[in-house]
Chains A and B, each alone.
Chain A
Amino acid sequence: MRLTGALVGRPTDLPGSGVAVADGVTPPVVELREVSRVFPSDPPVHALRPSNLLVHDGDYLSIVGPSGSGKSTLLNLLGLLDRPTSGEYLLDGVPTGTASEAHRSALRGGRIGFVFQQFHLLPHRTVLENVMLATLYSGVPRAERRRRALDALDRVHLTHRLDFKPPLLSGGEKQRVAVARAVVTQPRMLLADEPTGNLDTTNSAGVMALFDELHRDGLTLVVITHDPKVSAHARRRVRIEDGYLREIDR
């Protein structure tokens, strides 16, 4: 697994990475350059100190840390739901800091798949419709939406539940639907926020096995969690504490 020279304090060699892209080398999926987030108050809250992070294609990264350590802030930034106070965030090589809100929405819909602790499935829509919902905003051609949703559900082994409504599913099944919804747009990165927080041990293990499978298939995964067992599945582990980002040695 690739590592930047240091995750904290030392900026990455900017021209170098730019040349690499221009040469046709695959850019990192996520590249944080001295990104920080400060919430204005008295005194200012440094939710994220200036940090660097590289996530490459096919990485499986976990972000751990106690509550209040800045995990949510990092999730917001990585998911393009918030803008950094300083620094630059390149998603898939595209700078996002100055992009318009509409462009950021398009990037979010097209390149990031979200999985949440509370699943966030629409209770009145079938499993298939819930998965197809993600294709609405990401520009998947209308004719392909259904086929892609079926493929995604096949991938999470839920083809037998297509016409079920979410309230009838078990917690594990719900999270599988959420994963299918996240991967249906063929994102560059799957961003999971406490994906097992609402699941029992068995279902947690099932979801983690699914993540391992997705990772084997080449999907880039970033999992935010406080559960060491979940974190153990990841190939790389990053710890965030008091706004400082630190890579844990394997």
Chain B
Amino acid sequence: MTLTRPRADRGPDAHADPHADPSAEAHADPHALHGTDARADRRAAARARRGDRFALRDLVREAAAGIDARPGRLFLTILGTVLGIASVVVTVGLAQTAAGQIAAQFDAVSITQATASPRTMTRGGVQQTVAPLPWDADHRAARVAGVEAAGLVAAVDVAGARVTAVPVNDPSQPLPVTPPVFAGTEGLLDAVRGTTTAGRFFDAGHDQRADRVVVLGTRAAERLGISRVDRQPSIFIGDRSYTVIGILDGVARRADLLDAVVLPMGTARTDFALASPDELHLRIAVGAGPVVGEQVPVALNPNSPESVNVQVPPTGSAMRTTIQADLNTIFLALGGVALLIGGLGIANVTLLSVMERVGEIGLRRALGARRRDIGAQFMLESVTVGLLGGLIGAALGVAVVVAASAAQSWTPILDLTIVLGSALGGGVIGLIAGIYPALKAASVEPIAALRGGL
């Protein structure tokens, strides 16, 4: 029975902790009783505010208890936020993962492919090359570190000569369309990642000797009615006959070669007075792009490297970024809508909870809570609910991205800052959603609430 005679009992407390009890203050200072000293009044209030009066710890505890009171409702409250945050994480994660896959597919070819061509200038309305590529450009380029294969290609001007399988001049037939004629070096097949479906590609020997052999692109061969080369079929370019030694297919670059007749470079020089090679194709090692771009022009034309145009692959990350930017815009818009709905859900349920707990609010006010104590409690409850939703949503989103990637045998790619940011974003949503309910709670009139019933 320590409460007998409250006044007598308060004595020791006041000595132990003079700031804790405003009444102790008033007894110690008789001036406070007159109300003439407003400053003393405020000082007493300030002291009362300090100490153990509804400190942060109490606020956190009360907010936690408020959330804990209705687990079923908590689940429904955070559901919107969970789904919203999860959809943001999933969409961003899947966009990043998909972009990673697309970029990886691009990488396989584009990141290892480079070309060099002579710079052109327009002079007097005619495009002219500044300096032609040297005939041995492929051999020169092959010595550059990072270059794995090199091949020259040039369009051959056959001066209107027709390309036919049989030299029959039938005036009754319309002139068939002549397949284009190209000249290439022995490294071309490898440089453009082509394969031969029949026979073989020509080699340096054919080139040097200017042998009259050709390799046909697969569509050109079809048009000329040639499907096998074991019988050494011939075609005619104009009056001259050329032995078909192979059929070309599956090129990753210069797809026009599939429609064309390809001669060795030496043959083209001899028979058609080819002036210079047009383009140098290079297959390079992954990541060698910058080095190749810098060194190949010097190797091809040491005196004026600027006369050589080199196209090297962009760095991988630059490409990935552009692809992701397209995908993310759409997905983020969807996630934003989901989050808006989640925020409205929290605001709605918090407001409902304020209405339900009007009695509790009135009680707390009667027990000495200030308006801001009440507001802070509901604010913290709302933020915590939002944060909880954000954390669960982010975790769920990561799980979905990983599961979807596993199902597709993809490499899941997910920016961790986006995951953590989404979780925190849930807290921000709770913060915004809690403002109105918290203000509403703070403005509850205690007596009306207490008489109204709980």
Contact = CB atoms under 8 A, between A and B. Distances in A.
A35 B302 CA distance: 105
B51 A141 contact: yes
Interface in B1-45: 1-7, 9-10, 13, 16-17, 19-23, 26, 30, 32-35, 38, 41-42, 44-45
A85 interface: no
A107 B33 contact: no
A139 B22 contact: yes
B45 A102 contact: yes
A122 to B, nearest CB: 6
Nearest to A111: B23
Contacts of A142: 52, 55, 57
Interface in A93-117: 93-95, 97-103, 105-111, 114, 116-117
Q: Which of B53, B369, B373 has the most CB of A within 10 A?
A: B53
Contact of B35 (A95, A119, A136): A95
A142 to B, nearest CB: 5
B367 A186 contact: no
A50 interface: no
B33 A125 contact: no
B45 A151 contact: no
Contacts of A94: 26, 32-33, 35, 41
Contact of B454 (A21, A120, A133, A155): A120
A90 B35 CA distance: 9
Given A21-B30, A108-B367, A124-B69, 13 more contacts: A22-B30, A81-B446, A94-B26, A101-B371, A108-B368, A114-B367, A116-B450, A125-B65, A133-B364, A134-B367, A137-B364, A151-B2, A217-B4
B54 interface: yes
Interface footprint category on A: 35 or more
A90 B360 CA distance: 28
Contact of B367 (A100, A136, A154): A136
A107 B65 CA distance: 26
A188 interface: yes
A243 interface: no
B22 A107 contact: yes
Q: Lowest 6 CB-CB distances: which A-B pairs, in order? A: A109-B368, A95-B35, A103-B45, A137-B368, A106-B48, A124-B69
A98 B34 CA distance: 12
A75 B447 CA distance: 9
A120 B359 CA distance: 7
Interface of A: 18, 21-22, 24, 26-27, 57, 72, 75-76, 79, 81-82, 88, 90, 92-95, 97-103, 105-111, 114, 116-120, 122-125, 129, 133-134, 136-142, 144, 148, 151-152, 154-155, 181, 183, 186-188, 193, 217-219
B162 interface: no
Given A217-B3, A217-B5, A92 B23 contact: yes
B53 to A, nearest CB: 4
Contacts of B367: 108-109, 114, 133-134, 136-138, 181
Interface of B: 1-7, 9-10, 13, 16-17, 19-23, 26, 30, 32-35, 38, 41-42, 44-45, 48-49, 51-55, 57-58, 62, 65, 68-70, 359-360, 362-371, 373, 446-447, 450-451, 453-454
Contacts of B55: 142
Contact of B368 (A18, A105, A116): A105
A92 B367 CA distance: 17
A106 B19 CA distance: 12
A168 B31 CA distance: 49
Contacts of B20: 139-141
A71 to B, nearest CB: 11
A55 B32 CA distance: 20
Contacts of B19: 139
A121 to B, nearest CB: 8
A103 B42 contact: yes
B43 to A, nearest CB: 10
Nearest to B453: A118
Contacts of A183: 3
B53 A138 contact: yes
A141 B17 contact: yes
Given A136-B62, A137-B368, A139-B21, A99 B41 contact: yes
